[in-house]
Amino acid sequence: MANNTDGIDPALLGLLQNEVKMSRTKSWSGIETAAYYGPDKRDVDYDTKLGNPGEYPYTRGAYPEMYRSRMWTLRNIVGYGAPEDTREGLLKTIAAGGNGINVVGDPPTTQGIDPDHPAIGPEVGLEGCSLPTMRDMERLLAGVDLAKIDTAWHWSTTAYALVAAVHSHRGQSLNTLQGSNMPDMLQETLSGWGQKVVPAAFGHRNAVDQIEFCTANSPKWALGIPQAYDLRERGLSPAGEIAVGMAIVIKTMEDLVVRGVSIDRAAAGIAWVSISDVDFFEEVAKFRALRRFWARTMKERFGATDTRALRLRIACHTSGRSLVYKQPLNNLTRTAIQSLAALCGGVQSLEACTYDEPVCVPTHEARDLAIRQQQILANEIGAARVADPLGGSWYIESLTDTVEAEAVAMLEKIEKIGVIEAVTNGYIEQIMDDYNLTVQRELDLNERIVVGVNQFVPENDPVPTRFRFDPTNTRIHLQRFSELKQQRDRTSWEAALRHLHDTARGGGNCTQASIDALIADVTVGELWGTLRVANGYAYDPYGAVEAPIRYNA
């Protein structure tokens, strides 16, 4: 975070000020605590399976002091309508205490579809911010120095290219660019996007391109992979999260190593995007097993030696799927415990769902409560005081081992098929569908009780508020988009598009060409469609739009 606040939009100063702080290391009653607790005598088991926090295999935590040296980042997500709309929501969040900008793009943007696509008009700006061009990204980030302020983007490859394009266009060097996004496209194929929107091999290649590029050019840009939050929500157990996530990571690392990136560099820039589901103990066990699995894999399989490669950082978002529609205030209980699990599990960043998540687009009041919840956890509950507070519990250690063992078995089966094939041929999809069917059956038979769903169901439904935003800005945005397409410099636009196509055809890394294309006013839909064509797919996955040029002409 910056010390120098000159030249920054005053409304954004809030970003730099309201961190979640550690206010005391004493317990509430005044007992002083240590950074962590362990056995009086360390035995071989402890050394090989656990280690102290910050020690290989990092089961007990990535850092020795954990939250004493650095609290988790408090983030909240914004994103709706046109760039101007999101900017407004963004500023309100900062005023409430969030210190990281976290933006979600609307489905067309995240799928690489332009807002003027004939079939998806009703969806523009509804679930996130419409950001189809570099200029729109510039509008959103006006006054935000990307070298000083950490921006997190909740989608995959085009997010980095758009932000990098803005940064470059401002004359700044990419190696000063701060922020993060989630270049995991295999997860998208699995989580409902399907082969139609993200063909597995194509998506994966793109993800590896971005990671290779960032590792070399934007070392301060964090890469969230795997995006295991969506994988879990789609339908996986904690062991499944580790197995499928590691399958994706291993394949990605192998591809990067083939391209000449050292494993130490590649793995160091990665953070695992995880989830905290509703079983407190199972999730704590999962985070621990995950770190151990990661460390051992990096060391034994890839020969990594750098601490930063061996020690996994975890970003966590509490589960939306676990929240219940009826009597939504109960979700405050759920999210608080899930957040506590994440902290006992040692995550580096935490986003909690709002209690009204299943009911409506989060109200500002609900957002406030979500932030206060974390501040209560930090200051009153003592959640951050001690690293791995549940370490040494017989239950937790047993669960940790069991989750790990299940993950090992699942991963073996996936690797036998090959992860790309397992994604393409429906093997992993079937695991997920089976998981969901089991859960549904158990709910129907009352073998699994969820309060407000199959037991203790209140008579009355909640009254959802409606998130209404003025569509005026979106209309202007669409108009402006259309005008841009008319008025942009056609020569440089076309040259950029051809160069992108040719780079992709030639098997090269497409990230720089993507950035250059966006600077030349190529739209996100044109960018993605061109890459698709170069890889042998139809320009538009929805089959309604033709390519804007003939690439082989």
Partner 1 sequence: MTVRCLLGMLGTDVHSKGIRTLAQVLRDAGIEVIYLGEHNSVAGMVRAVIDEDADIIGLSFSSAAYLEYIRQFVTAMRENGVGSVPLMIGGLIHPDDHLPLQEMGISGIFGPGSRMDAIIDFVRNKGGSLQ
Partner 2 sequence: MNGIPPRAAAVLAGDHRMAGRLITIAEAGDTDIEPELGVLYRAGGSSRIIGITGPPGAGKSTFLDCLISRLRSLKRRIAVLAIDPSSPLSGGAVLGDRVRMQRHAEDRGIFIRSMAARGALGGLAHAAGDAVTILDAMAFDDIIIETVGVGQSETDILGLADIVILMQTAHGGDGIQSVKAGILEIADIIVVNKADTVGTDRMIRTLQEMVAHRIQTAAGWDTPVLPTEATNGAGIDAVLDAIDAFYRCRGANREATMQRDRRRMRARILTLAQAALRHRINILTEPSLLAAIDAVISRVMEPREALKLLVFPANS
Q: Which is nearer to partner 1, 120 or 549 (CB)?
A: 120
How deeply is 409 buried, as exposed, middle or buried, from its count of CB atoms within 10 A (0-12, 13-18, 19+)?
exposed
Q: Is 191 in the site for partner 1 (CB under 8 A)?
A: yes
Q: Which does 123 bind (CB under 5 to 8 A by kind): partner 1, partner 2, none?
A: partner 1
Q: Which does 325 bind (CB under 5 to 8 A by kind): partner 1, partner 2, none?
A: partner 1
Select from 20, 113, 342, 419 the one that contacts partner 1 (CB under 8 A).
113
Q: Which is nearer to partner 1, 306 or 442 (CB)?
A: 442
> Which stretches of 301-427 are assigned E, i.e. beta strand?
313-318, 349-351
CA dist., res. 469 & res. 51, Å (int):
51
Residues in binding contact with partner 1, number by CB under 8 A: 45
SS3 for 103? Answer: strand
Q: Among 281, 268, 142, which residue's Cα sits nearest to residue 216?
A: 268
Q: Is 520 in the site for partner 1 (CB under 8 A)?
A: no
CA dist., res. 346 & res. 314, Å (int):
8
Instruction: By CB under 8 A, name the binding residues for partner 2.
Output: 196, 424-425, 536, 538, 543
Point out which span in 56-64, 186-194, 414-422, 479-487 binds partner 1 (CB under 8 A).
186-194
CA dist., res. 206 & res. 202, Å (int):
6
Are 389 and 344 a contacting pair, CB within 8 Å? yes
**CB of 116: closest distance to partner 1 in angstroms?**
14
Q: Which does 8 bind (CB under 5 to 8 A by kind): partner 1, partner 2, none?
A: none
Q: Which is nearer to partner 2, 337 or 538 (CB)?
A: 538
- Tell me the one-letter amino acid at 35: A
SS3 for 149? Answer: coil
**CB of 538: closest distance to partner 2 in angstroms?**
7
Select from 21, 24, 70, 196 the one that contacts partner 1 (CB under 8 A).
196
Q: Which is nearer to partner 1, 108 or 346 (CB)?
A: 108
**CB of 436: closest distance to partner 2 in angstroms?**
14
CA dist., res. 27 & res. 383, Å (int):
10
Q: Is 95 in the site for partner 1 (CB under 8 A)?
A: no
CA atoms 378, 382, 388, 390: torsion sign: negative
Are 98 and 371 a contacting pair, CB within 8 Å? yes
Q: Is 401 in the site for partner 1 (CB under 8 A)?
A: no
Q: Is 542 in the site for partner 1 (CB under 8 A)?
A: yes
| Residue 363, number of CB atoms within 10 A of its CB | 17
Per CB under 8 A, contacts with partner 1 among 295-334 are 324-326
- Phi then psi for 366, rounded to 5 degrees? -65, -35
Q: Which does 143 bind (CB under 5 to 8 A by kind): partner 1, partner 2, none?
A: none
Q: Is 119 in the site for partner 1 (CB under 8 A)?
A: yes
Looking at the DSSP assignment, which residues form a beta bridge with residue 276?
318
Q: Which does 538 bind (CB under 5 to 8 A by kind): partner 2, partner 1, none?
A: partner 2
Q: Is 463 in the site for partner 1 (CB under 8 A)?
A: yes
CA dist., res. 149 & res. 167, Å (int):
12
**CB of 434: closest distance to partner 1 in angstroms?**
9
Q: Which does 463 bind (CB under 5 to 8 A by kind): partner 1, partner 2, none?
A: partner 1
**Any idea what the Cα angle at residue 247 is, between residues 241 and 251, rounded to 5°?**
145
**CB of 325: closest distance to partner 1 in angstroms?**
4
CA atoms 54, 59, 61, 62: torsion sign: positive
Select from 94, 182, 197, 353 the one that contacts partner 1 (CB under 8 A).
197
**CB of 162: closest distance to partner 1 in angstroms?**
18
| Residue 258, number of CB atoms within 10 A of its CB | 9
* Tokens at 540, concatenated: 């538009």
Q: Which is nearer to partner 1, 126 or 381 (CB)?
A: 126
**CB of 191: closest distance to partner 1 in angstroms?**
6
CA dist., res. 241 & res. 226, Å (int):
9
Q: Is 392 in the site for partner 1 (CB under 8 A)?
A: no
Terminal C-alpha separation, the chain = 49
* Tokens at 402, concatenated: 């069991």
Q: Which is nearer to partner 1, 119 or 449 (CB)?
A: 119
Q: Which is nearer to partner 1, 392 or 464 (CB)?
A: 464
Q: Is 528 in the site for partner 1 (CB under 8 A)?
A: no
Give the relative orientation of helices 200-217 and 524-534 as an angle to the nearest 10 degrees: 110
CA atoms 63, 67, 69, 75: torsion sign: positive
Q: Which does 197 bind (CB under 5 to 8 A by kind): partner 2, partner 1, none?
A: partner 1
**CB of 93: closest distance to partner 2 in angstroms?**
39
DSSP secondary structure letters along 185-251:
-HHHIIIIIHHHHS-HHHHHHHHHHHHHHHHHH-TTEEEEEEEHHHHHHHH--HHHHHHHHHHHHHH
**CB of 33: closest distance to partner 2 in angstroms?**
55
**CB of 197: closest distance to partner 1 in angstroms?**
7
Residues of the shown chain interacting with partner 1 in the complex, contacts defined by CB under 8 A:
107-108, 111, 113, 119-123, 126-127, 188, 191-194, 196-197, 233-235, 324-326, 358-361, 432-433, 436-437, 440, 443-444, 452-453, 461, 463-464, 466, 541-544
